[in-house]
């Protein structure tokens, strides 16, 4: 996951390279990997993984509760998953907002397109 995020982030905000005869040549691998988008995307993706797993655990626990199986363990599963969701969901929203503000700084046209501002500006 990390390398895919690093490469995709670099394509959004390319840094640490030069172009020689039409070929991209790396100059600074640290800048290439840790570009302005990478950390926001890494944290956002990591939180999304925790949220998905919490939902899976909650669903599994709820299924067992509905079937009257493993009541004690199922209650713990659901409670732990709900606590994880309660903590991670607001944090994910904050990180997503920060990622959006970072995108606004580096690619304002992209944010305008996401928000539909281009339609209002261009009249299409």
Give the whole-angstrom CA distance, residue 54 versus residue 80: 8
Full-model pTM: 0.79
Distance from the Cα of residue 33 to its chain's centroid: 16
- The tens place of each residue's pLDDT in the chain, 124 residues long, gives 688 989 889 988 899 999 999 999 999 999 999 998 899 999 999 999 999 999 999 999 999 999 999 999 999 999 999 999 999 999 999 999 999 999 999 988 888 888 877 666 676 6
Give the whole-angstrom CA distance, residue 16 versus residue 98: 23
For residue 55, what is the DSSP state? H
Nearest of 38, 123, 50, 37 to residue 89 by alpha carbon: 50
- What phi and psi values does residue 37 have, to the nearest 5 degrees? -90, -25
Six token digits for residue 77: 């599963």
């Amino acid at each position: 996951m990390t390398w895919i995020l690093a490469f995709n982030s670099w394509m959004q905000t390319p840094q640490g390279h030069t172009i020689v005869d039409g070929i991209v040549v790396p100059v600074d691998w640290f800048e290439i990997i840790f570009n302005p988008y990478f950390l926001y995307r890494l944290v956002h993706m990591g939180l999304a993984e925790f949220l998905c797993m919490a939902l899976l655990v909650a669903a599994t626990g709820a299924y067992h509760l509905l079937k009257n199986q493993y009541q004690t363990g199922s209650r713990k599963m659901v409670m732990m998953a709900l606590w994880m969701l309660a903590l991670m969901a607001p944090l994910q929203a904050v990180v997503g907002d920060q990622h959006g503000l970072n995108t606004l700084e580096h690619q304002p046209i992209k944010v305008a397109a996401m928000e539909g501002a281009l339609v209002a500006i261009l009249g299409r």
